[in-house]
Amino acid sequence: MTIQWFPGHMAKARREVAEKLKLVDIVLEIVDARLPISSRNPMLDSLIQQKPRLMLLNKADLADNRETAKWHDYFEKQGIHCLAINASQGKGINKIIPKVKEILGEKLERQAARGMKSMPIRAMCIGIPNVGKSTLLNRLAKKNMAKTGNTPGVTKGQQWLKTGKDLELLDTPGILWPKFEDKEIGKKLALTGAIKDTLLHMDDLALYGLEFFKEYYPKQLQERYKLSDEDMMLEGTDLLIVITRKRGFQEDFERGSVMIVQEIRDGRLGTYTLDRVADFEHEEDLK
């Protein structure tokens, strides 16, 4: 599954981000807590460079709490400030402004020492599609000012949003890199809905999701679809067939695949984290 998706508005957005960075004090990088590495855009590091940054692990309610805690420690050890939040329910949102002020503490102190008038902190919100940027912005602004949606690519242009006297936010469209060289990353992003479903085969995606849950969350998979121990011994398509039939879809395996993928995305199988800290720590040890 090689996925290429780089619409023209994303190329334009990348240029605009580079231009607008000089106008902001800090970057809020929003990632999906279920895949904190795979939902980061590798181009952003070169764009952001030394600009202060706060990483927000959004959708933490859908992620495995144990893995989220590990990821928090992982990023903090790398010097990347990090917060786990749930923008849709507003959890952790009240920690963002205090954390931003903490990160910019020295700069704010210097401004105060010079007698400079207190100005709102300007922050740029950035991330790939469907990680919840607009939902977060609306929470911070306490208004439905940013467009939201369950499909990637809803935000098409930049816009400034005021959140009161302390913070002004620059929303940006979600930016994906031109090509996913790592097919595993493409599958992870697709399974969580960061890529439009029309770009992939749902049966391949369902099989990937079933394989992942069998390895890391077998009990959740077994309980959701009332699978016997014998069913759990099945591999690939055979397991997909059993689940499809148990749901009363008979031989409609496309419908069964869509159902499995949607239930994984909605958290019907329970919380889960696709990026495992141990895997990435192992990769670093091999470098």
Ranges of H-type helices in the chain: 8-20, 42-48, 65-77, 96-103, 105-113, 133-141, 183-191, 202-216, 218-224, 236-246, 253-265, 277-286
Summarised one tens digit per residue, pLDDT across range 197-214 is: 877 789 999 999 999 999
Higher pLDDT, 168 or 177: 168
Helix (H) or strand (E) segment spanning residue 171:
strand 167-171
pTM: 0.86
In which band, very low, low, confident or very high, does the pLDDT at 176 lie, cut at 50, 70 and 90?
low
Q: What's residue 4's pLDDT?
A: 52
What homologous superfamily is domain 8-171 in, according to CATH? P-loop containing nucleotide triphosphate hydrolases (3.40.50.300)
**Mean pLDDT over the full length of the chain:** 86
Summarised one tens digit per residue, pLDDT across range 127-158 is: 888 898 889 988 888 765 554 444 444 444 56
Q: What's residue 41's pLDDT?
A: 81
Q: In angstroms, how far is the first alpha carbon of the chain from the final one?
A: 26
Higher pLDDT, 60 or 46: 60
Contact between 57 and 31 under an 8 Å Cβ cutoff? The reply is yes
- Asked, colleague to colleague, whether 8-171 and 201-286 share their fold, the answer is no
What's the CATH class of domain 201-286?
A: mainly alpha
Rounded alpha-carbon distances, angstroms, from residue 143 to 29, 131, 134, 161: 21, 19, 11, 10
Lowest mean pLDDT, pick from 8-22, 97-111, 255-269: 8-22
Domain ranges of the chain: 8-171, 201-286
Rounded to an integer, the average pLDDT of 238-242 is: 96
> DSSP letter string over 192-208?
TTSS-GGGS-HHHHHHH
Summarised one tens digit per residue, pLDDT across range 263-272 is: 999 999 999 9
